[in-house]
Structure 1
């Protein structure tokens, strides 16, 4: 059997490594000044991020060596999803509140955010579900995915994807974590659209999503943010909507972050103030190391430097999408396209939030923001794609060898699952 070590996709691995190292540098740049002011080790945050990166590299190595049949095991997926549900419930009802949300579970020095892990779990779950219905989708189109009742007969039955998806998304939204909930919904739309259903359904879903979002924002504008803030779980979220409509109306409170994000980007100009020379990170822009980190990147490296980093991120996403486009196996294709779509949505939500194009949702920028959970989830996703790409390459080599060696008088049949030819 051909060793997968020789099939590693360096056009994905190298950008990942570069972005991860850049992330460590930027985490140090955005956190060292505040840590020094507090009398703490200036390398504290970057050391924590570095530990998560080492764990992430080990996770990639482990996942890359897995057989893909492991990912298609319904028992494994069921256990993972049930554990995720339990963690989301614990995070919502028993974890302490952090910045107006209950999404973090803290165990001594270790803290993790279950909603982050749900992003890759949802990609895995939907790819598994839709891949099993490919023949039905070819015949019945979208009805193959919607003809069942919403409520399953038993909790271990993973057939009704809508029920489980809705439960998980609602648990994330109830944190409240509208940022990750938005990314998960948009990723689910991408996976549904590439599952084999008619292309017109993607247009319909996209139009419906834009319409609902527009109507929702319009209603909040008409009703008023103060009225919305009276809803218990949306009090903190209402401030973000207030900043979205007019950040300069309340510069000292709801609009503080967005206004200083504008200042940071304006300070950067074309070439930036230089790495480590940001003004806004010195107590003016809260959470400068997490969801507003790209504002600091623009301030320090300028529009040109930030554009180069953004181009590298888009190159990585494009290479991931190409793996999915070229894949012969539907499961492999949907995993890769789902991962690429998830990362693209995360970049869109983050950039849209710091620029005021959409309400700020607290979503981190991939690889650059401080956050070990985010880095680990992205690394696991990269591991999935690298494994899939290597397996697709290996199967393609087997097909080519079989084709070259076959006798024209022999009869071969194609195995639709593995793509190999047998005599």
Structure 2
């Protein structure tokens, strides 16, 4: 192999190509899932897909910029600390000082022609921040208990999780919590913590879900008078959505109908029935249900296979990395993608309560696409850096 190459020759196409395919496919599905509603309202059916395409172009530019950066720049402790403090301040502002609700939550900031969701960007900031802090503490990471020098970084992360939960955005709060746990367990911490956290996490999750649902059932009609009542309703409904078919369960039930209507080969692109007023959010939470209904289970499985292939490639970059920061960064991003897919599909299929979390790269949402694309940029950069070190390559201009 040549000892001097340009950085573009070290590109990991096993990650880049699936990303591009999923984004282009996402644009097609955004148009399919939004055009009917736009036409009914007398609006331009191309408007949502044009906005999504604009975010895709911006995402490609950001990937290019991040890929050109040196990984040493990302390892600066002060830079990651400033980033998480700024994000915490933005989350506090969004929740407590910016009075803009979307579907009962305060998680969005409205700008001219668009809205941004700070909680989405907090995910990648948490991964970056923890990768820097955990990599710098490798010598003490296996000490008994949680080392004191990890207490402050974890406090920053869990403060953000609490603020996001209060928005309320339990889906993203749970995702960030699981990412933080995954990165801690991958950092070299004692093996028995993995066992305890794994068993404890399963028991706690089941307990919380059952407890909230039981409390909601006990309150009955009084539930509407308490804060975050819609969260309680989601926990109640997911257990038996058909009991609430004509009320809060209609979204979940119509999602099931979409899966049933699609069968193996689908009704054809653009021919979804459920997106025509039956599903409230066919272009975000339920985009995968529309994929199944229009293109069938076989295409849906191929899409999932492509997503998981990309996730496995990202994890392999982390596993093979010789640098602790590179390894933790890649594993954190792989965990983000894996957890987000599970939370979205788990909600749509009724395995867990519906959270409103988008499906990576397919759902409409500029903030989500930008955040996920930034993650891809980081992994591509790390992959190129590890290849350079492995083969002793120097980079030309």
1:346 aligned onto 2:340: yes
Aligned to 2:368: 374
- 1:337 and 1:173 map into 2 onto residues whose CA distance is 24
- 2:288 and 2:230 map into 1 onto residues whose CA distance is 23
- 2:356 and 2:318 map into 1 onto residues whose CA distance is 29
In the alignment, is the contact (CA less than 8 A) between 1:64 and 1:386 conserved in 2?
Answer: yes
In the alignment, is the contact (CA less than 8 A) between 1:297 and 1:306 conserved in 2?
Answer: yes
- 1:95 and 1:222 map into 2 onto residues whose CA distance is 31
Describe the superposition over 1:171-205 as per-residue Cα deviations: whole angstroms up to 9, x where unpaired. 11011000001111111111011000122211211
**What displacement does 1:75 show?**
2.3
Describe the superposition over 1:362-395 as per-residue Cα deviations: whole angstroms up to 9, x where unpaired. 0000000000111111100000000000000001
Q: 1:42-81 maps to which residues of 2 (within 5 A)?
A: 42-81=45-84
Q: 1:18-37 maps to which residues of 2 (within 5 A)?
A: 18-37=21-40
1:146 aligned onto 2:140: no
Describe the superposition over 1:146-180 as per-residue Cα deviations: whole angstroms up to 9, x where unpaired. 33595xxxxxxxxx222111101001101100000
Counterpart secondary structure, 2:270: coil
CA, structure 1 residues 149+82, in 2 after alignment: closer, same or farther (shift >3 Å)?
closer
* Unaligned ranges ≥5, structure 1: 151-159, 402-423
**What displacement does 1:216 show?**
1.4
- 2:162 and 2:147 map into 1 onto residues whose CA distance is 20
In the alignment, is the contact (CA less than 8 A) between 1:95 and 1:106 conserved in 2?
Answer: no
Q: 1:18-417 maps to which residues of 2 (within 5 A)?
A: 18-93=21-96, 94-138=98-142, 140=143, 143=145, 145-148=146-149, 150=151, 160-225=152-217, 227=219, 229=223, 232-398=226-392
Counterpart secondary structure, 2:140: helix
In the alignment, is the contact (CA less than 8 A) between 2:216 and 2:233 conserved in 1?
Answer: no
- 1:212 and 1:233 map into 2 onto residues whose CA distance is 23
**What displacement does 1:225 show?**
3.9
In the alignment, is the contact (CA less than 8 A) between 2:237 and 2:248 conserved in 1?
Answer: yes
- 2:197 and 2:227 map into 1 onto residues whose CA distance is 27
Counterpart secondary structure, 1:184: helix
Counterpart secondary structure, 1:106: strand
Aligned to 1:11: 14
Task: Look at both structures and tell me which one has the larger radius of gyration over its CA atoms.
Answer: 1
**What displacement does 1:231 show?**
7.5
CA, structure 1 residues 180+263, in 2 after alignment: closer, same or farther (shift >3 Å)?
same
Which piece of structure 1 moves more, 345-354 or 203-212? 203-212
In the alignment, is the contact (CA less than 8 A) between 1:366 and 1:375 conserved in 2?
Answer: yes
Describe the superposition over 1:195-242 as per-residue Cα deviations: whole angstroms up to 9, x where unpaired. 001222112111111111111122233333463946754212112112
**What displacement does 1:20 show?**
0.3
Q: How many pairs were matched up?
A: 388
- 1:80 and 1:233 map into 2 onto residues whose CA distance is 31
* Unaligned ranges ≥5, structure 2: none
Describe the superposition over 1:114-147 as per-residue Cα deviations: whole angstroms up to 9, x where unpaired. 0001111111111111100111225x2x53x433
- Normalised by the length of structure 1, the TM-score is 0.89
Describe the superposition over 1:2-27 as per-residue Cα deviations: whole angstroms up to 9, x where unpaired. 42111000110000000000000000
In the alignment, is the contact (CA less than 8 A) between 2:119 and 2:164 conserved in 1?
Answer: yes
Please provide the CA RMSD for this pair. 1.7
